[in-house]
Amino acid sequence: EPEVTQTPSHQVTQMGQEVILRCVPISNHLYFYWYRQILGQKVEFLVSFYNNEISEKSEIFDDQFSVERPDGSNFTLKIRSTKLEDSAMYFCASSTGGAFFGQGTRLTVV
C-alpha cells in the first residue's frame, strides 16, 4: 500500500537553529499539506500546497516557515529560526481526494 514517508522520525535542535523536515508524498497525489500537533493538543493545519505553490496557510505559518517541492518527489518544511514553542509532531499529508498522513517527525527544540 502506498504511504507518505517522513524523515527524520525525531530531530532535536537548539533554539534559533534552522531545521528542514522532509516528506515523500504518495506518487500520484497532487495536494500536499503540513500539520503539527503539540503534545496533548489537536492536530493543527499549517499549510497546503498545490500546483507548485501555497494554496492556503494558517496564522501559525508565519515568516519563519517555508515549504518547497524541490523535485518531483520531495516536499519539505523549513523552520528558519526555531523557538521552544515549535516543539511538536509535524505531519505531512498528501491527497488526491482523501488525505493520507505520514508517521510524523517529532521536533524537539532545546
Partner 1 sequence: LAKTTQPISMDSYEGQEVNITCSHNNIATNDYITWYQQFPSQGPRFIIQGYKTKVTNEVASLFIPADRKSSTLSLPRVSLSDTAVYYCLVGGLYTDKLIFGTGTRLQVFP
Q: Kindly list the residues in this chain that would bind partner 1 in the complex (CB under 8 A).
A: 4, 30-31, 33, 35, 42-45, 48, 50, 55-56, 58, 89, 91, 93, 95-104, 106
Contacts of 49 (CB under 8 A, 6+ apart): 31, 32, 33, 55, 67, 69, 75
Smallest gap from residue 36 Cβ to partner 1 (A): 11
Whichever of 4 and 109 has its CB closer to partner 1, that residue is 4
Tell me the backbone φ, ψ of residue 84, rounded to 5 degrees.
-55, -40
Q: Which is nearer to partner 1, 18 or 30 (CB)?
A: 30
**Strand ranges across the sheet with 5-7:** 5-7, 19-24, 75-79, 65-68
The residue type at 32: F
Q: Compare residues 81 and 103 and give the one whose CB is closer to partner 1.
A: 103
Q: How far is the CB of 16 from partner 1 (least distance, A)?
A: 26
